[in-house]
Amino acid sequence: MVEKKDVIEGWPLETGDYDVGDIQCPVAVVTLGSKMNADVVQRGAAIAGPLHTENLGIEKVVANVISNSNIRFVIVCGSEVQGHITGKTMEALYENGIDPEKKVILGSPGAIPFVENLSVEAVERFQDQITLISMINNENLDEIEEKISECIANDPGAYPQDAMIVELNDVKDEEDDEQITEDDEEFDGVGVDSSIVMLEHVESRIRYLKGQINEIAAIERFSSGYYAGRMEGIVIGFCLTIILTLILLFKGLLVL
């Protein structure tokens, strides 16, 4: 029997659109853009919920995980959130951490990956406490359940240190805000210089647009090459047909 720790009263501390199961279970599941919280919890997870934003949303995930020392695995599954790319941003946070001055998640492809309310120590605790398992764009509940069961079977026991509490400065819960749009989210209440955030946002969009332009250009080059090759083949075939016809006619005249 692996060692467990008592979970602090009122956990999870941060509000959100999630479902809670056995709070001593070692597995938390992030379902990204998919709505399958209850199904995942029924299959054994301690907590499961979506992740729509690469800033406040991730802050809440980290805060809830490190405040429960029993959680040792975080499974990231469900459909990726376009634009915010929260799944890949979770991977970047786990693998690379954050810039201690800018509080930006290193290597994140998301539009606004600022975690102003997280300290370097909190992120390092998150990285050390859990093993992140990526199943991005996988919505197969049977496969997710299989992974949850595998994690439970390999539970190393509670993290040695007690719960770490992170204050998120009463930030607004993006899951409860129906006015949030795809491209313009939490610029207010996070303590980030808006000009810096806007610059990062613009630069991210420029990178995204460049990628789309390059992809379109590649498709156009392929289409142009295919069309040119096709036309060339038609012309060659037509010329050969005329030549063969003339040869046959010439032979026929000789015979006559």
- Structure confidence by residue, pLDDT tens digits, 66-116: 999 999 999 999 999 998 999 999 999 999 999 999 999 999 999 899 999
CATH class of the region 19-172: alpha beta
Domain ranges in the chain?
Answer: 19-172, 193-256
Amino acid identity at 174: E
- CA atoms of 93 and 200, how far apart (whole Å): 17
| Residue 59, helix vs strand vs coil | helix
Distances (CA, A) of 29 to 1, 21, 105, 177, 217: 23, 11, 20, 22, 39
| Cα 162–chain centre separation | 29
Half-sphere exposure of residue 75, counting CA atoms within 13 Å on the CB side? 32
- Alpha-carbon Rg for the chain in angstroms: 28
The tens digit of pLDDT for each residue in 178-227 reads: 333 344 443 333 344 445 445 555 555 565 566 557 667 666 666 666 66
Evaluate if pTM is beyond 0.75. no
Q: Strands across the sheet with 27-30, in order?
A: 19-20, 47-49, 27-30, 73-78, 131-136
Decide the pairing of beta strands 19-20 and 47-49. Answer: antiparallel
User: In terms of Cα–Cα distance, which of 52, 58, 56 is closest to 74?
Assistant: 58
- CA atoms of 2 and 156, how far apart (whole Å): 7
pLDDT grade, residue 245 (50/70/90)?
confident
